[in-house]
Amino acid sequence: MAATGRNDKLIVFESIGAPALDTSGAASHSQGNQPVDRARSRAISCSKWYPSAVRGCNNVTRGRRWQMPGAQGTIQIQQGKGSRVMIIQYYVGSRPEELEAVRAGIREWGLRVQPSTGEGAESPDAQIHVDNVFGDVKDSHRREVATFNCVKSVTAIEGVPQNLSLVRRGERHAVEIPNPYSGGSISIGEGHPLVILAGVCAVDEDYTLDSNRMAKEAGADINRGGAFKPRTSPYDFQGLKEEGLKLLTDVRAEVGLPIVSEVLDVRDVDLFMKYDVDILQTGTRNAQNFELLIEVGRTGKPVLYKRGFSNTMEETLKAANYIMEQGNENLILCLRGVKGIGNSFRNQGDLDEIVYLRQVCDRPIVYDLSHSAGRKSAVPGIGNMAAAGGADGLLLDVHVAPQHALVDGFQAIDSREDLARMIGMWRKLHKLVQEAA
């Protein structure tokens, strides 16, 4: 049987699998290598694909769990550096020696084979056989396997990039943020206290110092401040740009906390390096600006990567992987809400993705409270949920005079006492969850 080539579409999952294939009564008896009724063989079809469903599978939702017939446990699906999981479906009636010939060749490539056999067939000759292949699977492997006469289809499944995969990397990792003013560093990630990143949304001349100092006094670990502001309208305030970076670094010297600031353009990366910004932030509007992600990744600096407000988690992780692919292990993922059907808040919260990312990804997770909520009254409650859900850090806006803020004053916390009380509660919740884990 010749390789099927480009007609075999890739079925893309967000992470780990889907429900079991329904194979009950699906296959009929056959002789030799050709099934009597191929149409009734309910296995993965490569002729068509759907973003959130696989032909031949029942009740597939978001591709979260995939358990093949006869398989024990859940298959961990991962992708990265060109590798894929490969699923092989054999023709009904294929002889055991034919199957073993295929598997022997796969093992010679250093790949792992997990055979699965369907249940409910009238006889052993009518059983459906499916192999799950794990490792550094390449397109050349798939093409060669497809040439065996007993192979009906070969499907590659993509998932969490291996650079970010919790399964591949073994444990969740922390990122160290150097703090030259204290002589130490701040660790954000698994096993470390909750990190608070707080400060002005947009740097201004009159209030940035007092606002960022207030954040530190209330318990913040890192100051934020936007010098370049991406705005929906070209007539809105766009930030103080280089003058804003200079102001922010002057405030850093006064307050003594590391700073995080958003870089909008590859042409500005050198400017951020000139002022030695501690954490480079890529914003939601640049979530798939791959050239920018590559450039900030090459700096080696810690990067706070914000999810795009319309991006799936699959798109988010693949885009973030551009940073990791530059050899930069200092990637921090940031969730900030997405565009949704509701209008209760500025964005629809994506708090559930904190739990999802903790299950499949090794990167530290920050949740942006202010831009998710869009108003300060919702910040305490959303912060409680994010801290209890397992976030490693929380990002929020503060301003001592929000009525004079250049951007988003309505969502900024303006009371040191209120902020200190919130941070205390968030840290208690975070510690409680860590101790219970």
- pLDDT tens digits along 35-81: 333 332 323 222 222 222 222 222 222 222 333 333 333 333 333 34
What are the Cα distances from residue 206, in Å, to 85, 196, 211, 242, 414?
55, 23, 10, 17, 15
Q: What SS3 state is found at 102? A: helix
What are the Cα distances from residue 280, in Å, to 77, 194, 355?
30, 20, 25
pLDDT at 4: 31
Query: How many other C-beta atoms can be found within 10 angstroms of the C-beta atom of residue 265?
Result: 14
Distance (Å, whole) CA 70 – CA 119: 7
CA 22, 28, 29, 35 dihedral sign is negative
- Where the chain has pLDDT below 50, the residues are 1-83
How does strand 184-188 pair with strand 365-368? Answer: unpaired
CA 380, 382, 388, 392 dihedral sign is negative
Residue 325 · residue 312 · CB < 8 Å: no
Q: Which CATH class is domain 172-436?
A: alpha beta
In this structure, which long-range contacts are made by residues 209-215, counting pairs with CB atoms below 8 Å and at least 24 apart in sequence?
209/251, 209/254, 209/255, 210/400, 211/398, 211/399, 211/400, 212/251, 212/255, 212/257, 212/398, 213/254, 213/255, 214/398, 214/400, 214/416, 214/419, 215/257, 215/398, 215/419
pLDDT at 123: 65
Q: What contacts 151, CB < 8 A, 6 or more positions away? A: 1, 88, 89, 90, 91, 102, 145
pLDDT at 327: 94
Which single residue is written with the structure tokens 């092989």? 88
Residue 155 · residue 87 · CB < 8 Å: yes
Distance (Å, whole) CA 432 – CA 419: 20
pLDDT at 78: 35
Q: For the domain bounded by 5-158, which CATH number is listed?
A: 3.30.70.260
Helix, strand and coil percent figures for the chain, each rounded to 5: 35, 20, 45
What are the Cα distances from residue 306, in Å, to 239, 281, 334, 413?
19, 7, 5, 21
Q: Where are the domains of the chain?
A: 5-158, 172-436
For residue 279, the cross-strand partners are: 260
CA 284, 285, 290, 294 dihedral sign is negative
